Copies of this chain bind each other. A is one copy, B any other.
């Protein structure tokens, strides 16, 4: 434990550990699931935990870039939707000492995550995780609160689908994320009125009426009206 104390520099304090943790979420088999990876190093070695890692000062432009790098290295993902959740800190959360972890939420369609499942990450339904190391239980809880709360007021859940999707698929995702039933009719109307999506073709499945395929207009955005 080095202390960095050089009396010539009045502000040379011991620097805490700084890491990034990512709550990587996807929907699989109709359930919201979180990607966990087995820890390879000492504290809690061998236990499943949120994907994360140390900031690489030389490599990462900022913490979000670090989160992106972690996702690429551990789950083979590129250009995933990422947003900062909060920073969790304290003297006790890591046995190695005072630490802070900048937590991010990432959403990805299952198809893109599939190759990594088994090869580095395991998928666990969010309501079946228990006893994660560090304060990862709390981080996950906060992430779910955010995602569920923001769901009804933003296009965030679209990030769990591919670039295009049908209305039914979209509805299903919103229902899964928020854990409630939504009225199909109102759902369609609101998405249309808010001008959030645009048509992008048709989907034909045997035995069914063809469905319009949509694409998100612009980036993930927030709005006032509730879905």
Contact = CB atoms under 8 A, between A and B. Distances in A.
Interface of A: 2, 4, 10-11, 13-18, 41, 54-58, 60-63, 84, 86-87, 89-91, 97-98, 100, 102
Given A11-B41, A18-B18, A41-B11, A57 B90 contact: no
A15 B13 contact: no
Contact of A10 (B2, B17, B41): B41
**Chain A's interface: helix, strand, loop or mixed, by majority?**
loop
Copies in the complex: 2
A91 B16 contact: no
Which of A60, A89, A97 has the largest number of chain B CB atoms within 10 A? Answer: A89
A54 B11 contact: yes
Contact of A98 (B41, B57, B90, B97): B57
B57 A13 contact: yes
A6 B15 CA distance: 16
Q: Which 4 A-B pairs have the closest CB atoms?
A: A62-B90, A15-B15, A63-B89, A57-B98
A115 B14 CA distance: 32
A90 B60 CA distance: 8
A49 to B, nearest CB: 14
Contact of A16 (B11, B15, B61, B86): B15
Interface centre among A16, A61, A87 (most CB of B within 10 A): A87
A137 to B, nearest CB: 17
Contacts of A55: 13, 16, 89, 98, 100
Nearest to A222: B149
